[in-house]
Every structure is written in C-alpha cells, then in structure tokens.
Amino acid sequence: MTCDWLQADRARKNAENELQDATSHISEININIASMTSDRKRMESDIHAMQRDLDDAISSRRAAEERADKLALDLNRAQDQLRLEQDNYNNAESLRKQLEVQLREITIRLDEAESTKDGKKPLAKLQARVSQSVCCLLTIHPFVFFRVDVLLTFASSFFS
C-alpha cells in the first residue's frame, strides 16, 4: 500500500505541476491576447485616421483640379479676348493709316483747288470729304491712338 500511496502522491504532484504549468501557460496566453487586442484596437484607430487623411487628400485634390480647370477656362477666355482686341487694334490701326493717307490726298487736292481761280466748287467737295473722313474716323474707331483735336484743327484750318 505504501507503494500505491507513493505512486498516488507522485501522480498528484505531477498533476499539480502540470496544472501549474498549464495555468502559467494560460496566463501567458491571456496576456498575449490582451496585448494583441490592444494592438489591434490601436491599429484600427490608426487605419481610421489614415482613411480620414486619405479622404481629405482626395477631396483637396479634387478641389485643386476643379480650380485648375476653372483657371484654364479663364485663361483660354482671356487669350481669346486678347486675340480679339489685338485684331480690333490692328484693324483700327490699319483704318487709321488709310484715313490719314486719304486726308493727306484730300489736303493736297484742296491745296491744288485753292490755288486755281475757279476752285470754289471742288473746294466745297473736298471740305465735305475731309469732314466725312474725320467723322468716320471718330465714330468708327474712337480708341485709335492719335490726337483727334490736332486733326480737327488741321482740317478746320482749311475751312476758314
């Protein structure tokens, strides 16, 4: 019986040791589970923060693309307007030069008509044509860069 009792005692001690080892192992596993759960929650929080940052970046990029598209449209419109204004200016400048040439020709004819004795009728026609050219120049292209008052003074000197 002593043998049985010793075997039972050894078996009990072995079982207690195994229980203690198992309890220790379970405790370590529980600590690892708690640590991993904490890490998982922290990582999920980080992922949510990164997702918000990504959404903000995407929204900012879209807004920047929309602003860039709007600015590109504004630039195209401004370039078109500039081209039109340059064309208008070139046309007006060309017309101004043509009218100046006409005015010089008319002035020369006017001088020739005044130099003749019977030049009153051609003189009246030339004066009317000068007036018409000046009026045309003023009404059609008032923004052409030259001194209209000098031109009017020059033209009116022939009428007086």
Task: State whether residue 130 is helix, strand or coil.
Answer: helix
Tokens of 116: 């003749």
Separation of alpha carbons 144 and 137, rounded Å: 9
pTM over 0.85: no
pLDDT tens sequence for the chain (160 residues): 677 888 888 889 999 999 999 999 999 999 999 999 999 999 999 999 999 999 999 999 999 999 999 999 999 999 999 999 999 999 989 988 998 888 888 888 777 767 765 556 666 676 777 777 767 766 666 555 455 555 555 555 555 5
Q: CA 13, 14, 19, 24 torsion: positive or negative? A: positive
- What is the reported pLDDT for 108? 83
Helices (H), the chain: 2-115, 120-140, 148-157
